[in-house]
Amino acid sequence: MAVSPESKSNNNLLFYYIIIALTLGVIVGQCVHSFCSLKTILIVSDNIKLLGTIFIRLIQMIVAPLVFCTIIVGISKMGDMKMVGRVGGKAMLWFISASLVSLTIGLVWINILRPGDTATLDLSNTANATDLIANSQKLTLAEFVNHVIPKSLFEALAHNEILQILVFAVIFGVALASFGEKGEPVSKALDIISHVILKIVGYIMWIAPIAVFGTITAAVSSHGLSIFKLYAHFLLAFVIGMVSLWIILIFIGYLILGKRVFALIKAIKSPLLIAFSTTSSEAVFPKLIDELEKFGCNPKIVSFILPLGYSFNLDGSMMYMTFASIFIAQLYGVEMDLSTQIIMLLVLMLTSKGIAGVPRASLIIIVATCAMFGIPPEGVALLIPIDHFCDMARSMTNVLGNGLATTVVSKWEKGLDS
């Protein structure tokens, strides 16, 4: 797909606007935190973050129908069910490998740097964990099945249950493809709808800088930049782990894509920055589809792989789960030998799948895992003050991982336009 100079210019302009909004958000947020009373801080934080909420809700409004349409169109365009199985198999191979790499990196760095040994946090301040512990107790096999298998398509669409929509759309797409030419009018109609939705995304994206300003201002005004001093050891170790993950992902991408991996990062810079600023990888899903198609990825592979990735390929979240779980163990002096940590890694590998769209999913999985391995689950409350800032890095990394996965599978399928 050819990219017009006007489209490139608009994309660069949006990127610069977001950078400006991010900077202003930090400055305004710190001023509010430093010079206003606690009551004023709460009022400002609660109200200004509505700017981010409006943007996220506008995006959520279109994500479910977009996933529904793109999956069905992607499968029906493939036509050959052998191709669907082959592409899906390659995607799952990447997802599982990337998840194991991400979890392992978190495990390695948390054991080398051991930030929990030097932290001076108040271990009694764990009241905020009550709701998370209650939600983690719902992570049973029955609850997992209920979360994955849709009872009603319309209920799944109404509640933005992406995984349930995915299941229905795959079944519908396979059935539609079996009709051959008779099914083409339905496929074409859904294709037109998906492009109309992407046009809407183009309008909504210009609200992103305002949303970024509101989200960042609310976060900084509530906690202040001084929070980074208190959690300095944890954040430094976490940043080292995240940078390591980026280097490895980009290196693997370079081995497969060559120098085009750097062009890919440049192409998806706006989605990366929006995900970082709003702490929502879901918010850039429609924009990421558009950018990957412009980059040269096969549209039918993008339509099929990217929604799968948003459910099964959350590299940043995976790294954080092992990192945070062992950090809590270190805080409470719970010693875990290597074999136990490896078992924990495998448990996280399994339990983290299928929780896409669940609010604060990473923290809920951490609570459940801690309880399983004799680590005080209430320790997760100690991560809540800094979780927003960690989520910025997690969300950004999730977007990078899914962009790479989709591009790599397109290359493997000889569907990457030069």
**212 Cα distance to chain centroid:** 17
Tell me phi and psi for residue 2, to 5 degrees: -75, 140
Nearest to 390 by CA among 252, 242, 263, 199: 242
What amino acid occupies position 5? P
What amino acid occupies position 4? S
* Cα–Cα distance measured from residue 382 to residue 119, given in angstroms and rounded to the nearest whole number: 11
pLDDT at 205: 87
Q: Where are the domains of the chain?
A: 5-412
Nearest to 239 by CA among 323, 358, 315, 300: 323
pLDDT at 281: 81
Of 86-95, 116-125, 169-178, 283-292, least confident by mean pLDDT is 116-125
* Cα–Cα distance measured from residue 286 to residue 202, given in angstroms and rounded to the nearest whole number: 9
Nearest to 365 by CA among 344, 339, 389: 344
- Is residue 22 predicted with pLDDT exceeding 60? yes
- Written in H, E and C, the secondary structure of 307-374 is HHHHHHCCHHHHHHHHHHHHHHHHHCCCCCCHHHHHHHHHHHHHHCCCCCCCCCHHHHHHHHHHHHCC
344 vs 230, more confident: 344
Share of the chain above pLDDT 90, in %: 30
User: Are residues 125 and 382 in contact, defined by beta-carbon separation less than 8 angstroms?
Assistant: yes
CATH fold of the domain at 5-412: Proton glutamate symport protein (1.10.3860)
- Is residue 123 predicted with pLDDT exceeding 80? no
Radius of gyration of the chain (CA): 21
Q: 259 pLDDT band (50/70/90 cuts)?
A: very high
Q: Return all residues near 84 (Cβ < 8 A) that are at least 6 apart.
A: 75, 78, 174, 177, 304
User: Are residues 364 and 134 in contact, defined by beta-carbon separation less than 8 angstroms?
Assistant: no
* Cα–Cα distance measured from residue 362 to residue 359, given in angstroms and rounded to the nearest whole number: 9
* Cα–Cα distance measured from residue 114 to residue 341, given in angstroms and rounded to the nearest whole number: 14
* Cα–Cα distance measured from residue 189 to residue 186, given in angstroms and rounded to the nearest whole number: 5
Mean predicted confidence (pLDDT) in 224-251? 91
Mean predicted confidence (pLDDT) in 35-58? 89
Partner residues linked to 297 by β-bridges: 416
At residue 132's C-alpha, the angle toward residues 22 and 391, to 5°, is 20
pLDDT at 130: 67
Please write the tens of the pLDDT for every residue from 355-399: 555 556 778 788 888 888 888 888 888 888 888 888 889 999 999
User: Are residues 281 and 399 in contact, defined by beta-carbon separation less than 8 angstroms?
Assistant: yes
Please write the tens of the pLDDT for every residue from 139-167: 566 666 777 788 888 888 888 777 788 88
Mean predicted confidence (pLDDT) in 243-259? 94
The upper half-sphere exposure of residue 279, i.e. CA atoms within 13 Å in the direction of its Cβ, equals 20
Q: How many distinct helices (H) and strands (E) make up the chain?
A: 20, 0
Report how far apart the first and last C-alpha atoms of the chain are (Å, whole number): 10
